[in-house]
Amino acid sequence: MERRDLGRVLITGAAGFVGAALVETLRADGIVVIASDVGAPSAAGLVPCDITDGDAVAAMVGGSAPNTIIHCGAVSGPMVMADRPLDIWRINVLGTAHVLEAARRQGVGRVIVCSTSEVYGSRNEGVVDEQTRPEPDNVYGASKLAAEQAVIGYRREHGLDAAAIRLSWIYGPGRRTPTDLERLLRNALGGRPTVFGGRPQDVTHYLFLDDAVGGLLCAATAGSVGWPVCNVTTGRGKPLADVVAAIRTVLPNLQVEFSGTEPTVVRPSGFDQTRTAQSLGFRPEIDFETGIGRIIEALRRAPNVL
């Protein structure tokens, strides 16, 4: 597949889980990276910028003159700031609009915006694709859907080369946001049982950090992105029972009890990857068993890694 040169890359949310991994990967490849995050000290190699401040975003983009922007700066999941819905909206929607507008004015060659599979919500069942009608369940999902619409608007009306990438549940060493997977692993390593409110057949959608980074970079380097929205996931989901079985291959003494009798959330069973493979040239490489082994290894080396 034809690939474009990234040139200088601006990454927002560069102190976050995905943003930091992108910075590390690109700099290891000799790419010039401008790394930005809200309130970040310049001494740490990060440019401070609040994306809800349009003037600050314009100044940062104008001053750094990037050829590519990968916009990771956002509220990172429905479990974060759930009691502050207006702030979620300001950060995820207004912040994205500020980045797109600054990119338009500066003539940035490509903008990639991190979105989420949560836009599909719980009303869509089976394997869904990007043409499935989104049905977000919460403000977080709705805010990401609105950010996608901003991408589409700037792309169609102003010719901005931009795309939104719908990422599923990203896991891996270094994640700081508490998750059920983290709780399960910590309990297992500590010899403690874990009780899940769900059922063994409830579907999960885990995507290893390296694949999330790889998908975003494929979107940033694709010669052309034929679609404004693409799924970057592992395709079909994995039942919770299979997640537990995979972890038991590494931690055989894992103790898990399922207390749920009804589905906690009805959700898609998987996300079609056809558009992603054709338009971005991306396919995930890290299976769950390999990914979970890497996390456990990292936790054993440094218990505070998650």
List the chain pLDDT tens, one digit each, 306 residues: 899 999 999 999 999 999 999 999 999 999 999 999 998 776 678 999 999 999 999 999 999 999 999 999 999 888 889 899 999 999 999 999 999 999 999 999 999 999 999 999 998 989 999 999 999 999 999 999 999 999 999 999 999 999 999 999 999 998 877 788 888 998 998 899 999 878 898 899 999 999 999 999 999 999 999 999 999 999 999 999 999 999 999 899 899 998 877 766 668 999 999 999 999 999 999 999 999 999 999 888 876 544
Q: What is the pLDDT of residue 305?
A: 47
What pTM value is reported for the model? 0.94
How remote is the C-alpha of 148 from its chain's centroid?
Answer: 14
Contact 243, 204 (CB under 8 A): yes
Question: What residues are annotated to the active site?
Answer: 140
Residue 177 pLDDT: 79
| Cβ pair 49, 57 in contact under 8 A | yes
Residue 178's pLDDT is 78
Residue 183's Cβ-count burial label (10 Å; 0-12, 13-18, 19+) is: middle
Q: How many Å apart are CA 26 and CA 182, to the nearest integer?
A: 27
Size (the chain), residues: 306
Select from 289, 4, 20 the least CA-distant residue to 175. 20
All structural domains of the chain:
9-173+205-236+268-286 (3.40.50.720)
